[in-house]
């Protein structure tokens, strides 16, 4: 039996049908084409993920039946293991052997300078408890500006309770880092741990302190923690997103030692509509169906519009 579950997509709450199986939640999203997936598949411990065939068998018995089920293999398991239809997905990953190797061999000279700059400008990074003080520090970063990266920032103006809840997920498997200048928190990072890998859930800093390179300082500390724990891969979501191409975030990842790791993503049709949609490529994100040049033109126009709005408001 399905229930309605509230999930957050890019900071916006949505109510979606959900099913429980073997301790995980499967959510279904979409209007014309309904696609089921394991909720927070990327963040769950690898050992807790159910066998895909078991999920498929379960979804065939529910009503209304989703049109497609999608799942991906987890890093670093890039060799296809299943016979279902697949396409290549990707993650950004730092293969971690030692901090010294990362610092001297894997990152760019500019990234090394940025880490040294953060040290010279007295940026201090430390592990913090997830308490009221830390949440207020996150809020001070969120509320620095309504606009980030050329668009309206969806975390701006959120309440303490909302910020506390949204950033406190998987607390028992997470480490919370904070970057300080004197007593002011200017950046933070949340790392979620698994056995062989760790994933950065959030890294963000105040734009007013960009010259102090707090993000580089946070990432440097994250690699040190990975070495201490014997974690082999530090992940930071995708290396590239759809057909968006290289952007400033990809360049940041590349300069700091992340490489593209391709992983199989599978799509299993459960209805005739799902089979037709899969054959026509309609399972892909709408944004990825737009030509890259057109998408880039739209993003440039959006950035200019928001910049104009900020100028008008002073």
How high is the mean pLDDT in each 10-residue block of the chain (314 residues)? 65 79 91 94 95 95 92 95 97 98 98 98 98 98 90 91 96 98 97 97 97 98 98 96 75 97 98 96 75 61 58 51
Residue of 191, 204, 190 whose CA lies nearest to 153: 204
Query: What is the Cα–Cα distance from 78 to 259, expressed in whole angstroms?
Result: 14
Q: What is the pLDDT of residue 10?
A: 56
Question: What pLDDT score was predicted for residue 225?
Answer: 98
The correct answer on CATH 3.40.630.30 for the domain covering 97-231 is: yes
CB atoms within 10 A of CB 150: 14
> Distance between CA 309 and CA 50 in Å, rounded?
48
SS (H, E, C) the chain: CCEEEEEEECCEEEEEEEEEECCEEEEEECCCCCEEEECCCCCCCHHHCCCHHHHHHHHCCCCCCCCEEEEECCCCCCCCCCCCEEEEEEEEEEECCCHHHHHHHHCCHHHHHHHHHHHHCCEEEEEECCCHHHHHHHHHHHCCCCEECCEECCCCCCCHHHHHHHHCCCHHHEEEEEEEECCEEEEEEEEEECCCEEEEEEEEECHHHHHHCHHHHHHHHHHHHHHHHCCCEEECCCCCCCCCCCCHHHHHHHHCCCEEEEEEEEEEECCHHHHHHHHHCCCCCHHHHCCHHHHHHHHHHHHHHHHHHHHHCC
CB atoms within 10 A of CB 241: 15
User: What residue segments make up the domains of the chain, in order of their start?
Assistant: 3-92+260-312, 97-231
Give the model's pLDDT for residue 297: 67
Q: Are strands 68-72 and 174-181 parallel, antiparallel or unpaired?
A: unpaired
d(C-alpha 40, C-alpha 25), whole Å: 8
- Alpha carbon distance, N-terminus to C-terminus of the chain: 53
- The whole-number pLDDT of residue 284 equals 86
Q: Helices 160-167 and 132-142: crossing angle, nearest 10°?
A: 100
CB 25 within 8 A of CB 15: no
Give the contacts of 313 (CB within 8 A, at least 6 positions apart): none
> Model pTM?
0.88
Residue 220 confidence (pLDDT) = 98
Write down the pLDDT at residue 149: 76
């Amino acid at each position: 039996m399905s229930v309605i579950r509230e999930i957050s997509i890019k900071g916006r709450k949505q109510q979606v049908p959900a099913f429980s199986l073997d301790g995980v939640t499967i959510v279904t999203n979409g209007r014309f084409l309904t696609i089921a997936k394991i909720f927070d598949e990327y963040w769950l411990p690898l050992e807790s993920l159910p066998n895909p065939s078991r999920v498929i068998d379960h979804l065939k018995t529910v009503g209304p039946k989703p049109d497609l089920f999608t799942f991906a293999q987890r890093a670093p398991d890039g060799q296809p293991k299943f016979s279902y239809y697949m396409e290549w997905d990707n993650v950004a990953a730092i293969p971690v052997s030692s901090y010294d190797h990362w610092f001297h061999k894997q990152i760019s000279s500019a990234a090394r300078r940025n880490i040294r700059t953060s040290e010279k400008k007295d940026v201090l990074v430390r592990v913090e408890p997830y308490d009221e003080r830390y949440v207020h520090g996150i809020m001070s970063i969120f509320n620095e500006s309504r606009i980030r990266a050329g668009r309206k920032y969806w975390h701006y103006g959120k309440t303490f309770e909302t910020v506390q809840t949204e950033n406190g997920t998987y607390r028992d498997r997470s480490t919370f880092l904070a970057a300080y200048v004197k007593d002011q928190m200017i950046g933070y990072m949340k790392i979620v741990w698994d056995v062989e890998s760790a994933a950065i859930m959030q890294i963000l800093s105040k734009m007013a302190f960009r010259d102090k390179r707090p993000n580089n300082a946070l990432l440097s500390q994250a690699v040190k923690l990975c070495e201490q724990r014997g974690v082999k891969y530090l992940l930071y979501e995708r290396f590239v997103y759809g057909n968006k191409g290289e952007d400033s975030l990809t360049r940041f990842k590349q300069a700091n030692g992340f490489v593209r790791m391709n992983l199989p993503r599978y799509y299993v049709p459960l209805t005739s509509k799902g089979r037709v949609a899969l054959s026509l490529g309609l399972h892909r994100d709408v944004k990825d169906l737009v030509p890259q040049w057109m998408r880039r033109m739209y993003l440039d126009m959006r950035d200019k519009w928001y910049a104009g709005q900020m100028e008008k408001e002073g």
